[in-house]
Amino acid sequence: MRSSPRSRDLLSLLLGIGCVLLVLFISSFARVRADLTSEKRFTLTPATCDLMDSLKDVVYLQVYLAGELPADLRKLGEATRELLDEMRVHNPEMLQYTFTDPSAAPDEKSRLANYAKLQEEKLEYTSIRTEDKGAASERIVWPCAMLNYRGRQQPLQLLRTQFRTPDAGMVNRSINNLEYEVASAIRKIVSDHRPRVAILASNGCLDELSVKDIGTALSEQYEVSRVRIDGRISALSDKVEGGRYRANKFEALIVPKPDSAFSDKDAYIIDQFIMNGGRVLWAVDAMNAHLDSLRTRQYSIATPLDLGLDKLFFAYGTRLNKDLLLDAQCAPIQFYGDKYGNQRKLETRPFPFEPVVVPRSTHPIVNNIDPVHFKFVGSIDTIGLDSARSTILLTSSPYTRVQRNPVRISLAVVDLDLKLDRNNTPDRPVAVLSEGVFRSAFADRMLMPDSVKRSMGHREISRHTAVLVVSDGDAIANMVNREKGQYMMLGFDRLAGTKVYGNREFFVNAMNYLLNDRSLISLRSRTITLRQLDPERTSKERAYWQVLNVAGPVLLSILGGITFILLRRRRYAVPA
């Protein structure tokens, strides 16, 4: 007995529905996902995956980026939600979150109370000023979150800026660093031990305000403190009772722009810190050059700065040359030129003594960071060591000339044709990383009995360690306003009025690398493109696109219906 066409169609429909249900049932047990974005926006780095897999208890995030938000911050909120959902895939039970709008309180008193509580928790708000059809309004939003873990709290700022009013560029940078910020906050709150970093405060090093930004940035991951040596053998390490060698008090040391000589005893203390596995980041000048002296005189003479550290650098595979670099790839400077009428004219010209170094290495420290700004930087030579290797991280541009000691510094250099494209010494190293096992700079120089050396915990061959030398102390110094006690973010450009250079990322990456936090560098190196709308076109063509989006689908539906009716009539028309 043959089945009717209707029965066959019904059977096909039921089979199709059954197949769909079967596929849905099977897919509920197997999660298959594909990231088709060009920048792999929805793919976590292996470091974040390992972090999520290692969670032992619930991490709860209270995200305050919610409510009525402008387009840029709405993108940041969506990116935050997508990131947290992606992280929950690896450990859904141990990561929970909610989005809350602090401005959703029913009355102003409750709203202000919410704001005060968030500020007490060290969270920062952003003021958004918008204009719609000639009417201006201001709204307070909180692009931040609070993490909770085993009774501990950790504030998280999702929008990184020193200004209350953000722009699209700031939001884009925040989205780029979103995985890094969230993962770093989780790692910080779940970790029971934080590496200790010391910033040297003796020997004329930069004061606390001048290194405030890099200290603040590092304090998010490490325990940061300032230390003076002043001849104290126990400043950086202690002699452990019953132990053969000394034990360091810190994992790393930063030496920011010293201007007075280190005594042999101070140099020995740092040397033994390195011998016992300590990591050191040197930001030092080989020449005594200052821009401030040009404000009172037409020129100045830069002479060698004797810091008493040459033997240390030589032992660790580097040598700071007594020179300064002129680079065609440089930052601008403002100065008063010739008089224009009764007033002096403020001019902005490229200043070759301030190179802007574009990273060309693929090393994790400098990969995917902005150009680094230097002031009166010298060159570095590398020295071959059998037990260590040196890596050049940053070099000047191909259009560089070396000025040997002594160097005459004058603002008139902006008017000279230096012919750097023809008469030059290109690609001079300005930042060098040395890794491996070093021999003490004081080996065979200690004129004392071996018993005394043993009692001090003297060590001649180091553990495996690393030293990074940057031949410019100003590279780590942030701009300051002494009168107001304020400081700018490291890499801030006064003429641009915003952060332009990658000095902050360079030194944070350097410390992450020195302390073996390679995962943090891999997180920060991600780049996500923010495809924003043109605000002018959005305003001008708003009505056009509104009509098109509303009327377009309706017209297409009507056109499709008319076409379907005409084709149906034509197909089933009865011949005359």
pLDDT in tens, 60-119: 999 998 888 887 888 888 989 999 998 998 888 899 999 998 888 778 888 888 888 988
> For the chain, what is the mean pLDDT?
84
Beta 237-239 vs 144-149: how paired, if at all? unpaired
- Verify that 295 and 348 share a domain, yes or no: yes
- Verify that 215 and 266 share a domain, yes or no: yes
Which pLDDT value is given to residue 214?
96
- Verify that 278 and 381 share a domain, yes or no: yes
Q: How many structural domains does the chain have?
A: 2
In a domain, 560, yes or no: no
- Verify that 362 and 260 share a domain, yes or no: yes
Beta carbons within 8 Å of 518's beta carbon, 6+ residues apart: 47, 364, 512
CA atoms within 13 A of residue 488's CA, in its CB half-sphere? 18
In a domain, 543, yes or no: no
Three-state secondary-structure class, residue 128: strand
In a domain, 330, yes or no: yes
pTM value is 0.73
In a domain, 545, yes or no: no
- Verify that 121 and 156 share a domain, yes or no: yes
In a domain, 70, yes or no: yes
The answer to whether residues 462 and 438 touch, using CB atoms and an 8 Å cutoff, is yes
pLDDT in tens, 406-446: 998 888 788 777 788 777 789 999 999 999 999 999 987 77
- Verify that 297 and 216 share a domain, yes or no: yes
Average pLDDT over residues 510-518: 84
Where is the domain boundary, 153, 185, 217? 185
**Which residues on adjacent β-strands are paired with residue 282?**
255, 469
Where is the domain boundary, 137, 162, 185? 185
Q: What angle do CA 305, 306, 309 make, to 5 degrees?
A: 120
- pLDDT-derived band of residue 490, with 50, 70 and 90 as boundaries? very high
How far apart are alpha carbons 146 and 287 in whole angstroms? Answer: 47
Which pLDDT value is given to residue 270?
96
Beta strands in 358-447 (DSSP E): 372-373, 380-382, 388-395, 400-404, 407-410, 429-436
Which stretch of DSSP H or E encloses residue 219? helix 212-219
- Domain with 446, as residue range(s), is 196-514
How far apart are alpha carbons 85 and 94 in whole angstroms? Answer: 12
φ/ψ of residue 308, rounded to 5: 70, 25
Three-state secondary-structure class, residue 503: helix
Which pLDDT value is given to residue 501?
92
In a domain, 65, yes or no: yes
Where is the domain boundary, 150, 185, 220? 185
Q: How far is CA 477 from CA 213, 335, 373, 574, in A?
A: 8, 21, 11, 89
The answer to whether residues 312 and 417 touch, using CB atoms and an 8 Å cutoff, is no
In a domain, 26, yes or no: no
- Verify that 131 and 70 share a domain, yes or no: yes
Beta 252-256 vs 318-320: how paired, if at all? unpaired
- Verify that 219 and 254 share a domain, yes or no: yes
Question: The dihedral of CA 507, 509, 513, 515: what is its sign?
Answer: positive
The angle, 0 to 180 degrees and rounded to 10, between the axes of the packed helices 46-53 and 71-90 is: 60
- pLDDT-derived band of residue 159, with 50, 70 and 90 as boundaries? confident
- Verify that 206 and 229 share a domain, yes or no: yes
Beta 279-283 vs 252-256: how paired, if at all? parallel
Which stretch of DSSP H or E encloses residue 74? helix 71-90
User: Domain holding 153: CATH number?
Assistant: 3.40.30
pLDDT in tens, 3-44: 666 677 677 778 888 888 887 777 666 555 566 566 566 678
In a domain, 39, yes or no: no
Residue indicated by tokens 């993962």? 183
- Verify that 238 and 160 share a domain, yes or no: no
Indicate the range of 22-31, 221-230, 353-362, 499-508 predicted with least confidence: 22-31
- pLDDT-derived band of residue 522, with 50, 70 and 90 as boundaries? low
pLDDT in tens, 129-158: 665 555 666 778 888 999 999 888 989 888
Beta carbons within 8 Å of 379's beta carbon, 6+ residues apart: 321, 323, 325, 396, 402, 428, 429, 430, 471
**CB count, 10 Å around CB of 231?**
13
- Verify that 406 and 293 share a domain, yes or no: yes
- Verify that 358 and 447 share a domain, yes or no: yes
